């Protein structure tokens, strides 16, 4: 593998993680009570791990968990 190919694959991987992180931030913002935009802005600087933890806590507090524990483990 050349260094150029490595950087291309690395860049694509980082981009996928950023897409997942952004989607989870929107999911959290939509699930949390209150203004969606304000919530999303508030968590915009949070890392992927922080968002997964916050989403898991919010999901479990609702009484009906929508995402499985194994999925949370995978995301984390």
- In order of 6, 19, 20, the CA distances from 29 in angstroms are 35, 15, 14
Q: Give the count of domains, the chain.
A: 1
Q: Tens digits of per-residue pLDDT, 10-52?
A: 999 999 999 999 999 999 999 999 999 999 999 999 999 999 9
d(CA 45, CA 25): 10
What average pLDDT is seen over the chain? 93
| pTM greater than the 0.95 cutoff | no
For residue 66, pLDDT beyond 80: yes
Range of the domain at 11: 3-75
């Amino acid at each position: 593998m050349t260094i150029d190919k490595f950087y291309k694959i690395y860049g694509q991987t980082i981009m996928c993680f950023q897409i997942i992180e952004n989607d989870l931030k929107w999911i959290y913002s939509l699930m949390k009570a209150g203004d969606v935009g304000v919530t999303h802005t508030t968590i915009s600087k949070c890392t992927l791990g922080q968002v997964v933890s916050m989403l898991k806590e919010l999901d479990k507090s609702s009484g009906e968990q929508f995402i499985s524990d194994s999925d949370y483990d995978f995301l984390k």
